[in-house]
Amino acid sequence: MELIAAWEAGTGAERERLAPALEAALETADPAGRYALAERLAELDDHRHAAATHLAAVLAAQRRALPAEHPDVLETRAALAHAERDPAAAEAVATDALRAAGPRHAATAHARLRLAQAHERRGDFAAARHLLRRAIPDAVRGIGPDHRRTAGLRLTLAEVYERDTIRYASLHRGALRAYRSLLGAQRQYHRTIESLERVHGPGAPIVLATLERLADLYERTGTLGVATAQYEAALQWHEMRHGPDAPETRAARDTLARVYLRGRHPERAVPLYEPVHHEHEPTESEPDEALDDLAEAHLAAGDEAAAQEVYERLFLLLAERDGPDAPETVRYLAEVAEAFDEAGARAVAVGWHERVVAALTRAEPRDEAALSLARGHLAAARDGAGRA
């Protein structure tokens, strides 16, 4: 079924977009297709109640035709427990699956996955971690390392390890445990990526999404060199798969530029923001962050003239949209002045401070407190420029 294949290869955002089509297909699907569609739909919080209704109907039909401990019945029970967020039902079906199907069966892997997720939702990460660490080797030996249930177990364990990493890092003397959890998360992500690449191909959306999750983990734990390499690889795949102007590619480009700035490589960030300089137009809801990021990258790279040019362009766009003396535009002028102050470009900052003072002087009614503060900033900038 094409919908199922698209779901399996898709990212979270793509699965959200597929949800209405899955719901519509449920109405005409045969029992097997109905189960497959509803089980996947139950992954989305906004659609799990609809999924539960269909899964309950499938389960009722199965119980009339099959023994109580048939693998299909166990699978549907596990899916329904997950859709209903029922931890007691998840516990019961995991127990029944282990007894009836054994630890290496796909139905047992599914039931254990849903029980681990129930533990996770309740905040019992130790129980989830213990269960997953036992379930993964059984699944690898029984249904193989590339089965979607095995991948689900690995990703869930990686998420638990991630939480442990952050939690332990905040504790006194928790550094060693945080490091061990970090290694565990990395190991599970790497193995999942290898498996997903074998199934879907190295550039599939779900592979890229998992690669970016691993990169995000590296970034949040301060391993910027490795994170940068992962984000660079993800951007290359997005460009090849979606093209340079696709939303996915733009998001990946923005993320990589942010990491370059954080890693003190603004000269690498500038080319990633550069296309925005020619393409971007402001909207009512968008605060023109892309152009601002480009200017920040120029300023961080020490190119004050390029930063000034981009800030000027953005000012003209904002002035046209909101008015040259509108509070939002004056606030922007002050932010630019502050940016040049912080970069040590006091001579350039003076001009922007002067524009803030001029705009506040023209304002009716005049905000004397704001004007007095702006004049103080201007005096400080002039003093700093004179001593530079």
pLDDT tens digits, one per residue of 144-190: 999 999 999 999 999 999 888 888 888 877 888 888 888 899 899 99
- Secondary structure letter of residue 16 according to DSSP: H
Q: Round to whole Å and give the CA distance between 169 and 181.
A: 10
Q: Which of 299, 236, 228, 290 is nearest to 259 (CA)?
A: 228
What's the whole-number average pLDDT of the chain? 85
pLDDT surpassing 90 at residue 143: yes
Give Dmax over CA atoms of the chain in angstroms. Answer: 89
What is the rounded (10 degree) CA torsion for 371, 375, 380, 382? 140
pLDDT attached to residue 280: 45
Closest to 337 (Cα-Cα) out of 375, 366, 291: 375
Q: Which two tokens stand for residue 347?
A: 């001579």
> Of 242, 239, 243, whose CA–CA distance to 256 is shortest?
239
9-25 average pLDDT score: 84
Q: Compute the distance between CA of residue 145 and CA of residue 94 in angstroms, rounded to an integer.
A: 20
C-alpha 335, offset from chain centre = 28
| Cα angle 161-134-126, degrees, rounded to a multiple of 5 | 40
Considering Cα of 251, then 252, then 255, then 257, what sign does the dihedral take?
negative
CB–CB of 257/276 below 8 Å? no
| 248 vs 54 pLDDT, higher one | 54
- Exposed (0-12), middle (13-18) or buried (19+): which is 303, by Cβ within 10 Å? middle
Per-residue model confidence (pLDDT) at position 72: 95
Closest by Cα among 125, 51, 119 to 90: 119
Residue 386, class by beta-carbon neighbours within 10 Å (0-12 exposed, 13-18 middle, 19+ buried)? Answer: exposed
C-alpha to C-alpha distance for 368 and 364, rounded to whole angstroms? 11
Q: Convert the pLDDT of each residue in 297-312 to its tens digit.
A: 777 778 888 888 888 8
Question: What stretches of the chain show up as alpha helix (H) in DSSP?
Answer: 2-9, 12-26, 31-41, 48-65, 71-83, 87-100, 106-121, 125-142, 148-169, 175-200, 205-220, 224-242, 247-262, 266-279, 289-300, 304-322, 327-342, 346-362, 368-387
Question: Which of 47-51, 88-92, 102-106, 313-317 shows the lowest mean pLDDT across its residues?
Answer: 313-317
Tell me the pLDDT tens digit for each residue of 241-290: 778 877 778 778 888 877 777 777 777 777 776 654 444 444 443 445 66
Residue with tokens 């449920």: 26
Place of tokens 């990169």: 215
Taking only the tens place, the pLDDT of each residue in 193-224 is 999 999 988 878 788 888 888 888 887 777 77
Q: Which one is predicted more confidently, 307 or 386? A: 307
